[in-house]
Structure 1
Amino acid sequence: MADQVPVITIDGPSGSGKGTVSQLVADHLGWQMLDSGALYRLVGYAASSTDADFGNENEISEIASNLKVDFDAGRILLAGADVTDLIRTETAGNNASKVAAMPAVRAALLDWQRDYARSPGLVADGRDMGTTVFPTAGVKFFLTASAEERAQRRYKQLKEKGLPANLAALTAEIEERDARDRSRTASPLVPAADAIEIDSTVLGIDEVVRIVLQKAHDVYATAL
């Protein structure tokens, strides 16, 4: 049962560092790791690739219900095709935000996400992990950073990959995505009432990981 497995949820907006922190914590503990954002990116990418109507919630939820996805050694395969890098573009991120606002899509992916809670434990990264998907998790965090700092991080990532990037455009896109994620009616981007909030604007990844691991050891001492 999911509620009998130790779960750490790390929610927050795009670019807050939650994905990196979640992976490092999961690796340290030897636990499963759920990148829920990848599922929504996959739905958005699949919808875009098939010219689906983003205004038709039933059509998009049908795509979500029938994803043929495999996670293999750090790579993500959709119907056998490697889409790991394709779903990490800014366009894919914006499409993910659009489909994530659809209640039927969120419902279609809910059981899939909860199924990741397996022994010895799970670190779940997303936007509603602590509020909707794993509301009874014993350890919850909400990780954030200023829009400007998150845009700078994304700008650096793109430049390191040799890809074109515009800092002002990235900042505007992040602010637009934040507003859409926070205002949606289905599982909006908000901290769980019992989540510990961390502003990573001036904190290094190692420091954030240390804080999360300390809380995990305090709560799940017998499971570690």
Structure 2
Amino acid sequence: MQIAIDGPAGAGKSTIAKMIAADYGIIYLDTGAMYRCIAHRVLLQGDDFSDTEKIIKLAQEAEIRFEGEKVFCNGEDVTESIRTPLVSLHTSDVACIKEVRELLVAQQKKIAGDQSVIMDGRDIGSVVLPEAEYKFFLDADVTERAIRRKKELDAKGIEKELASIKQEIQQRDDNDRNRVEGPLVQVEDAIVVDTTGKSIDEVCAAIKKYIDEVRA
């Protein structure tokens, strides 16, 4: 079983994908975390996102692995450090590089292999798992997505103005939708789920209802 979940930043993809993975006993792969790892490495190396060749080299050298909900890059636990606002802001800068995408997509396809998986990202249904049996596109009002992100940052002790977060999300949306390589798209066979005003449990229930009806 392969489940693809796409959508913009803050739509609830990762949280919902983790819950569905646990409910069905399948593997969850956070593809966004892989791109965040590369952006994090670039920041550690001097914050030059214009040096494409250097970024490609960093991606080639990156050994990314998942252990439960923990993310490791080159042996270092980066679970928390890849979730900072600065990394979020620059993730689309590395995700738009063709060679980086090809490298990480190949890894993602390999992980999917012959095992049941659920993946979330921007191009799962269109590029990574185009043959997935179940495809969903999660979306939500940009203001609500910004409020959700602010709550996450507040919980981590990171202070940031809501207006600034909203602006960054809008910029990220624009970058994701307009990049040449693996842009954020809603594929024709995806089930659209608007998560605005809905709880995590409500969204999960709707997705599982659809999957169970198809499998029955």
State the shift of 1:52 in Å.
6.0
State the shift of 1:57 in Å.
2.2
* Pairing 1:69-148 to 2, within 5 Å after superposition: 69-118=64-113, 120-148=115-143
Aligned amino acid, residue 161 of structure 1: K
Q: Is residue 184 of structure 1 aligned with residue 179 of structure 2?
A: yes
Q: Which moved more, 1:112-121 or 1:101-110?
A: 112-121
> Cα RMSD (Å) of the superposition?
1.4
Residue number among 209, 212, 215 corresponding to 1:217 in the alignment: 212
Q: 1:212 to 1:35 in 2, by over 3 A?
A: same
State the shift of 1:70 in Å.
2.8
| SS class of match (2:28) | strand
State the shift of 1:206 in Å.
0.9
Aligned amino acid, residue 46 of structure 2: D
**Matches of 2:58 and 2:153 in 1, distance apart?**
29
Residue 50 (structure 1) aligns with:
45
Instruction: Flag structure 2 segments of 5+ consecutive residues without an equivalent.
Output: none
TM-score, normalised relative to structure 2 = 0.95
Q: Is residue 10 of structure 1 aligned with residue 5 of structure 2?
A: yes
Q: 1:12 to 1:139 in 2, by over 3 A?
A: same
Aligned amino acid, residue 170 of structure 1: I
Deviations along 1:25-52, one digit per CA (max 9) or x if unpaired, are 0000000111000000001101111126
Q: Is residue 31 of structure 1 aligned with residue 29 of structure 2?
A: no
Residue 201 (structure 2) aligns with:
206
8 Å CA contact 1:65, 1:109 repeated in 2: no
State the shift of 1:65 in Å.
2.0
Instruction: Flag structure 1 segments of 5+ consecutive residues without an equivalent.
Output: 1-5
Q: 1:112 to 1:128 in 2, by over 3 A?
A: same
Tell me which stretches of 4 or more aligned residues in structure 1 moved more than 4 Å: none
**Matches of 1:118 and 1:102 in 2, distance apart?**
24
**Matches of 1:72 and 1:206 in 2, distance apart?**
25
8 Å CA contact 1:99, 1:105 repeated in 2: yes
Aligned amino acid, residue 106 of structure 2: D
Aligned amino acid, residue 24 of structure 2: L
Aligned length: 216
TM-score, normalised relative to structure 1 = 0.91
| SS class of match (1:116) | helix
**Matches of 1:188 and 1:146 in 2, distance apart?**
20
Aligned amino acid, residue 139 of structure 1: Y
8 Å CA contact 1:113, 1:133 repeated in 2: yes
Q: 1:64 to 1:105 in 2, by over 3 A?
A: same
Residue number among 157, 170, 190 corresponding to 1:175 in the alignment: 170
